[in-house]
C-alpha cells in the first residue's frame, strides 16, 4: 500500500471489520434460506418438488450473470457506492419474495435477489485497501468467516423458524435484516476514495470482455472452475433433496430437523484454515485430489445410510468438512498467478461455480421427485467421482503446485 493510499484510505477499526463481516453474513445468507424450507415453500404455493427447484436454480444463474456484468464495475467505481446500491437491490428482491402472493412473483424476487448479490465479492476488495499489509490475511479471513457464518445461520435458523412460525416469517426476518444492513452500510464504510487506475477506465464492455482471452491463456481456470461447479452444485442438490427427504412422509421429520443437521457445517469454520495450511505444504492440486477421494467415500454412504437421520450425520459431516477445503485448493491454483490477473481469474471461477450451482439447484429436486433418495444419492456419488477424475487430471497436467506457491 503506497503512502498516498494510506493518506486517502483511513484504516478500518476492529469494530468496522466485524461489522463488515456481519454485513457479509447477512447478504450471503439470503441465497440459503430456502434450502431447509424448500418443501414448505412448495406446499405453500401448491407446486411439485421438481417445480420448486426453479427458484434456487434461477437465483444461482442470476448470481453468475450479476458477477459477470456487475463485479467488473468495482474496478471503475467506488466499491462503497456499488455495495450500497446492490444491497438496496437485494432488499427489493427479498421484499418481493416476502409479499409474493404467487409462485411466479416469488421466483422473480429470488432471481432479482441473486442478480444483486455482489456485496460479498466487493467488500473484500474494499477492506483490502483499508488495512495494513500485515493484517490483510487476518481481515480477509474475518470476512470469509462471515460468509460461512451467514450460510450456517441461514440453514439452521430458517429450518427452526419455519417449523414454529411458518416459512414467510423467515423472509420477513431476512428482509428486516437486509434493510437494517442497507441503512447501516453508509455509516460502517468510510467514504474516502481515490481515482481508479488509468487501465481500469477502459469502456465497460471492454472491461467485461477482457476476462474471456484468459480462458485460452490460462486453461487451468476452466478445470478448477469445473471442479468447483460440480462440487458446489452437488452440495446444493444434496441439501435441497435432503430437506425434501427428511420432511417426506417416509421420514416424517419437521423442517427444524433439517436446520439442526445443517449445523454440522459449522465444523468447516474450524477445519478449513487448517486444511488450507496442509495444502500449502503438499501442494493444492495434490491436496485437492486427496480431499476429493475422501468426499467420494463419504458420499458413497448416502445411499445405505439414507433411512436414518443419525447415520446420515456421518456422510454429511465428511462432505461438509472437505467440500470447502476443495474450494480453497482450487482457488490456490490461480491466486498464485500475477496480481494483475487474479481478479479476472476469480471472476471466471465464480461465474463457472454459480452456473454449476444453478444447474444442480434444478436437477437436485427434479431427480428426487422422479427417483427418490436412491436417485439423488446415486447422482451425487457419480458427480463426486467425476470431480475426483478432474482433480487427478489437473494434478497430472500441472503438478502439485507446491513449488509455484512457495516461490510466488
- Which of 134-138, 205-209, 247-251 has maximum average pLDDT? 247-251
pLDDT number for residue 223: 94
Return the C-alpha cell found at 303.
445411499
The whole-model pTM stands at 0.78
Mean pLDDT, residues 363-375 taken together = 92
Q: What is the per-residue pLDDT across 375-386, written as a single tens digit (0 to 9) for each? A: 999 999 999 999
Q: Indicate the domain borders of the chain.
A: 1-190, 210-408
Average pLDDT for 245-268: 81
Query: What is the rounded distance in angstroms from the CA atom of residue 122 to the CA atom of residue 125?
Result: 5
Question: What's residue 137's pLDDT?
Answer: 53
What integer is the mean pLDDT of 99-110? 95
Beta strands in 32-117 (DSSP E): none
| Span 210-408 CATH architecture | Up-down Bundle (1.20)
Residues 6+ away with beta carbon under 8 Å from 252? none
- Asked if the model's pLDDT at residue 105 lies above 70, the reply is yes
- Give 94-135 as a DSSP string: HHHHHH-SSHHHHHHHHHHHHHTTTHHHHHHHHHHTTS-GGG
- Write down the pLDDT at residue 124: 72
**Do the domains at 1-190 and 210-408 have one common CATH topology?**
yes
Q: Write out pLDDT tens, residues 298-345.
A: 999 999 999 999 999 999 989 888 888 888 788 778 766 776 677 778
Among 14, 262, 11, CA closest to 152: 262
To the nearest whole percent, how much of the chain has pLDDT over 90? 38
Mean pLDDT of the 184-209 span = 70
Q: Is the pLDDT of residue 402 over 90?
A: no
Report d(CA 283, CA 288) in Å as an integer: 9
CB 93 within 8 A of CB 112: yes
pLDDT at 292: 95
Q: Which CATH superfamily is domain 1-190 in?
A: MFS general substrate transporter like domains (1.20.1250.20)
Alpha-carbon distance values, 14 to 78, 193, 237 (Å): 22, 20, 37
Q: How confident is the model at residue 174 (pLDDT cuts 50, 70, 90)?
A: very high
Amino acid at each position: 500500500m503506497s503512502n498516498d493510499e494510506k493518506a486517502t484510505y483511513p484504516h478500518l477499526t476492529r469494530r468496522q471489520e466485524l461489522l463488515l463481516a456481519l454485513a457479509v453474513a447477512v447478504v450471503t445468507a439470503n441465497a440459503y434460506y430456502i434450502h431447509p424450507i424448500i418443501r414448505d415453500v412448495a406446499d405453500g404455493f401448491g407446486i411439485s418438488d421438481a417445480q420448486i427447484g426453479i427458484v434456487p436454480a434461477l437465483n444461482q444463474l442470476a448470481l453468475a450473470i450479476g458477477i459477470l456484468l456487475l463485479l467488473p464495475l468495482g474496478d471503475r467505481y467506488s466499491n462503497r457506492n456499488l455495495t450500497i446500491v446492490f444491497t438496496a437491490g437485494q432488499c427489493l428482491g427479498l421484499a418481493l419474495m416476502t409479499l409474493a402472493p404467487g409462485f411466479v412473483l416469488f421466483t422473480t424476487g429470488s432471481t432479482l435477489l441473486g442478480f444483486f448479490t455482489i456485496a460479498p465479492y466487493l467488500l473484500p476488495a474494499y477492506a483490502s485497501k483499508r488495512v495494513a499489509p500485515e493484517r490483510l490475511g487476518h481481515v480477509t479471513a474475518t470476512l470469509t468467516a462471515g460468509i460461512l457464518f451467514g450460510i450456517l445461520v441461514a440453514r439452521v435458523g430458517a429450518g427452526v423458524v419455519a417449523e414454529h412460525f411458518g416459512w414467510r416469517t423467515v423472509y420477513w426476518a431476512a428482509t428486516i435484516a437486509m434493510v437494517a444492513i442497507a441503512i447501516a452500510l453508509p455509516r460502517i464504510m468510510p467514504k474516502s476514495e481515490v481515482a481508479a487506475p488509468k487501465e481500469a477506465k477502459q469502456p465497460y464492455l471492454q472491461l467485461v470482455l477482457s476476462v474471456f482471452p484468459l480462458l485460452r491463456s490460462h486453461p487451468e481456470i476452466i478445470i478448477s472452475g469445473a471442479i468447483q461447479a460440480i462440487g458446489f452444485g452437488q452440495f446444493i442438490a444434496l441439501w435441497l433433496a435432503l430437506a425434501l427427504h427428511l420432511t417426506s412422509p417416509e421420514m416424517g421429520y419437521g423442517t427444524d430437523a433439517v436446520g439442526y443437521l445443517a449445523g454440522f457445517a459449522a465444523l468447516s469454520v474450524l477445519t478449513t484454515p487448517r486444511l488450507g495450511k496442509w495444502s500449502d505444504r503438499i501442494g493444492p492440486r495434490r491436496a485437492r485430489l486427496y480431499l476429493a477421494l475422501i468426499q467420494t467415500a463419504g458420499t458413497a454412504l448416502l445411499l445405505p445410510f439414507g433411512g436414518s437421520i443419525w447415520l446420515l450425520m456421518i456422510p454429511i459431516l465428511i462432505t461438509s468438512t472437505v467440500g470447502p477445503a476443495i474450494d480453497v485448493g482450487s482457488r490456490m491454483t490461480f491466486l498464485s498467478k500475477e496480481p494483475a490477473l487474479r481478479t479476472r481469474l476469480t471472476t471466471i471461477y465464480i461465474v463457472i461455480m454459480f452456473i454449476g450451482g444453478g444447474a444442480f439447484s434444478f436437477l437436485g429436486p427434479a431427480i428426487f421427485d422422479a427417483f427418490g433418495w436412491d436417485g439423488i444419492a446415486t447422482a451425487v456419488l457419480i458427480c463426486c467421482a467425476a470431480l475426483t477424475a478432474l482433480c487427478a487430471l489437473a494434478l497430472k497436467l500441472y503438478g502439485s503446485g507446491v513449488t509455484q506457491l512457495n516461490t510466488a
